[in-house]
Structure 1
């Protein structure tokens, strides 16, 4: 899969009130640092715990932000998008595009000093679960033999 173009999408408008730590999320992307191949959009790379976005609960890591207070983020440099968020005021309206399946953006990009990409736990937890299931199956087989 190419990281996003074939995945089902849904759009939503989310209104956030800026808190003590801002809007509570980090972004990646832009025309100067594409996060997903052939898509220069702005994406949520991290939701900060107890921030405005986390408390609202609708914005998710990997969501593409289409507009901020009605201003489109199409063909925007990363730094211009960051500045738009910083100057958006206390009441911020975001039009976002949710991905209904996990996206496969590159893990080497960083947005606003935060790591992007797939969290390590998303790789380790399924692997651990498979290992536990395999050990359990082997032990059950040996008990019956």
Structure 2
């Protein structure tokens, strides 16, 4: 689903100069290891504070990288995307889709994750009460 329409207000261009430790961020994603369900895009997974991206401050964990030096990152395997970043040169132009709060998988994902954990807690409490009541009633019958 790389070709989906994006809000242009969330798309930004970021220029970085490769430092001694590279661009200073890690990526995840690709057609062979989707990070977001039904999306084979390339996402920023970690920003190194002292790297080029960390010092610049605009790139954030969870942002989707749409293009590097004008090359769109569409339908790429993870290794192919990594190779593009490694060979991008010293001055790198990124086109980035800023992350949406409910767009990612995992613990920083949508609000529904918190609600489902809460719902499971309620169900477990109810099952516990019903089970305790059943055991109590069986015990009471034996005593009479």
Count of aligned pairs: 103
TM-score by length of 1: 0.66
Deviation of the 1:100 alpha carbon:
4.0
Rounded to whole Å, the distance in 1 between the matches of 2:104 and 2:77 is 21
Structure 1: tracts of 5 or more residues without a match? 107-116, 119-145
Give runs of aligned pairs for residues 85-104 of structure 1, distance below 5 A: 85-101=85-101, 103-104=103-104
Deviation of the 1:99 alpha carbon:
1.9
Task: Report the RMSD for the aligned CA atoms in angstroms.
Answer: 1.9
Give runs of aligned pairs for residues 50-129 of structure 1, distance below 5 A: 50-101=50-101, 103-106=103-106, 118=108
Partner of 1:24: 24
Segments ≥4 residues shifted beyond 4 Å = none
Partner of 2:114: none
Greater helix share, structure number: 2
Q: Which has the higher contact order (CA 8 A, sep 6+)?
A: 1
Rounded to whole Å, the distance in 1 between the matches of 2:10 and 2:92 is 20
Structure 2: tracts of 5 or more residues without a match? 109-144
Rounded to whole Å, the distance in 1 between the matches of 2:99 and 2:24 is 20
TM-score by length of 2: 0.67
**Which of 1 and 2 has greater Rg?**
2
Greater strand share, structure number: 1
Deviation of the 1:49 alpha carbon:
1.4
Deviation of the 1:78 alpha carbon:
0.3
